Structures are given as C-alpha cells and as structure tokens.
Amino acid sequence: MSRLRLLSAAALFAVAANSHASSFIVTTDTIVDALKATSDATSDVTSSFRDNKIVRAARDDAASFVASDGVIRGVKLESAFDHIRHQVPGLNATDAQLAQAILTI
C-alpha cells in the first residue's frame, strides 16, 4: 500500500512540475515576443529617420532632455517629436523613448 502511495505522489509531483514549467515557458515567450516587437518598432523608427534633417538637428536637445530627466525640452526636440509622431501615427513611444532613439541615430 505504501508503494502505491509513493508512486501516486511521484506521478502527482511530475504532473504539477510539468504544468509549472509549461506556464513559465508561455510567460517567458510572451515577454520575449513583446520586447522583440518594441525593439523592432524602435529600430524601424531610428533607421527610417537616420537621414532626416529635423531629427538629426534635435540630437543636442535630446541629450539635454535625457540628462535632465525630461525637464529641459528644446524647440528642435519638440519639432522632432511632432515630426516623428506625424510620420508614424501608430507609434506608442514616450518622449523619453523617442529622445533616447534620437540619440542612437
């Protein structure tokens, strides 16, 4: 009888461990896919605006914006934000994300 209980407990443990592992994998895949989509969107924006004069002119303002944690907002940076959001209306990026993207160009 104790052997049957031991086998039952082992089988129950194996099923429980498998369900936790599969939910971990699903969660991990979801997070990785979301990060990849965000990275791809940022990469697409930076590559498409690499040669844009308005965006390139805003680099110094973007550096000031990032360094001041959003306090300093230059005119050229505001113009670049407007230009980017007009060109890519579906982009859901914050001003800080856009400023950092401008700095990477």
Q: What angle do CA 79, 46, 88 make, to 5 degrees?
A: 60
- 3-state DSSP assignment of residue 91: coil
Question: What is the per-residue pLDDT across 25-49, written as a single tens digit (0 to 9) for each?
Answer: 555 666 666 566 555 555 555 556 7
Longest dimension (CA), the chain: 80
Question: What is the per-residue pLDDT across 66-96, written as a single tens digit (0 to 9) for each?
Answer: 999 999 999 999 999 999 989 888 888 899 9
